[in-house]
Amino acid sequence: MSDFPPYKSVVFLGAPGTGKGTQGKVLGALPGFVHLSTGEMFRALDPASELGREFLKYASRGELVPDAFTVFLWQEHMAKLIASKKFNPQTELLVLDGIPRNAHQATLMDDHISVLRIVHLDCPDETDLVRRLQLRAKKEGRPDDAREEVVHRRLEVYREETHPVLEHYPADLIATVNAMGTPAEVMLEVLGVLAPVHAAHFANPLTEPAAR
Ligand code: ADP
């Protein structure tokens, strides 16, 4: 076993506001799971730095950050997580939220991740999503949630670029979960999908030290 990629991963895929971050965070609190959100990774950049400014330029318009920059930053972030012992690829399942976000990123990521399952958080009704994003804008003050035209652009980018990522993977890897329940109801379904994946690939982190 090695610390090098491909990392065993599961991917949350869903439109803005479907709860990828909420579900990912809860999951990441469980021993054996490590959550990584690329949105959070970008928001942690110093907004006055060159990288931070580059991110804000795209995010404030509702656009995706360019692929090469995104994947490069993600790789650096992974190396830091491993070096600081926040992620052990041999014993922990990586939960990705926000990447890959278009077909090209999915191809670039093929060298870095071994995707064991995709959880597609599905919300057929966009008006619900807009409402959730408006609520989040008030709570978190995110620059990309505040303006309605930016929210609509993000939903459009999701439809045109991110949803097609599903076609990059074999259909039997994809589990579609209705994102419209309460966070707890959605989590129940997500765990129904992911607990067996974790158990099939990793030892119980509370009783055994090594990966299967
Ligand atoms: P949400 O899913 O709610 O839209 P995220 O927190 O995942 O928000 O991402 C916020 C912003 O960060 C995106 O709108 C985009 O500008 C940028 N971003 C996040 N992940 C990626 C990615 N994989 N590729 C390009 N841009 C990204």
Query: What is the three-class DSSP state of 133?
Result: helix
Mean pLDDT of 38-57: 96
The closest of 178, 154, 176 to 64, measured between CA atoms, is 154
In the predicted model, what is the mean pLDDT of the chain?
94
Q: What percent of the chain has pLDDT over 90?
A: 86
Tell me, using a 6 A CB cutoff, whether residue 65 lines ligand 1. Answer: yes
- What is the band of 5 on the pLDDT scale with cuts at 50, 70, 90? confident
The closest of 81, 93, 88, 77 to 33, measured between CA atoms, is 93
**More confident position, 207 or 188:** 188
Q: What percent of the chain has pLDDT over 70?
A: 96
**More confident position, 116 or 148:** 116
Question: Around Cβ 87, how many Cβ atoms within 10 Å?
Answer: 21
Pick the CATH number of 7-36+91-201 from 2.60.40.10, 3.40.50.300, 3.40.50.1000, 3.30.930.10: 3.40.50.300
- Burial track 7-25 (b if 16+ CB lie within 10 A, e otherwise): bbbbbbbbbbbbbbbbbbe
Cα(131) to centroid of ligand 1, in Å? Answer: 18
Per-residue confidence (pLDDT) for residue 141, from 0 to 100: 80
pLDDT over 80 (residue 65): yes
Per-residue confidence (pLDDT) for residue 155, from 0 to 100: 95
Q: Which of 18, 38, 69 most suits a substitution to test ligand 1, by most atoms within 8 Å of the C-beta?
A: 38
Per-residue confidence (pLDDT) for residue 99, from 0 to 100: 98
Atom of ligand 1 nearest to the CA of 101: 23
116, with CB counted inside 10 A (0-12, 13-18, 19+), is: middle
The closest of 82, 84, 83, 102 to 92, measured between CA atoms, is 82
Residue ranges covered by each domain of the chain = 7-36+91-201
pLDDT over 90 (residue 159): yes
Q: The whole model's pTM is what?
A: 0.95
Lowest mean pLDDT segment, chosen from 2-6, 62-66, 156-160, 169-173: 2-6
Tell me, using a 6 A CB cutoff, whether residue 144 lines ligand 1. Answer: yes
Please say whether the beta carbons of 143 and 36 come within 8 A: no
**Cα 201–chain centre separation:** 20
Tell me, using a 6 A CB cutoff, whether residue 194 lines ligand 1. Answer: no
Separation of first and last alpha carbons in the chain: 10
Per-residue confidence (pLDDT) for residue 211, from 0 to 100: 55
pLDDT over 80 (residue 208): no
Q: What is the SS3 assignment for 6-54?
A: CEEEEEEEECCCCCHHHHHHHHHCCCCEEEEEHHHHHHCCCCCCHHHHH
Lowest mean pLDDT segment, chosen from 1-15, 39-53, 107-121, 138-152: 138-152
pLDDT over 90 (residue 140): no
Helix ranges, the chain (H):
20-28, 38-43, 50-59, 67-83, 103-109, 126-140, 148-157, 183-201
The H or E element spanning position 119 is: strand 113-122
Per-residue confidence (pLDDT) for residue 212, from 0 to 100: 59
Tell me, using a 6 A CB cutoff, whether residue 74 lines ligand 1. Answer: no
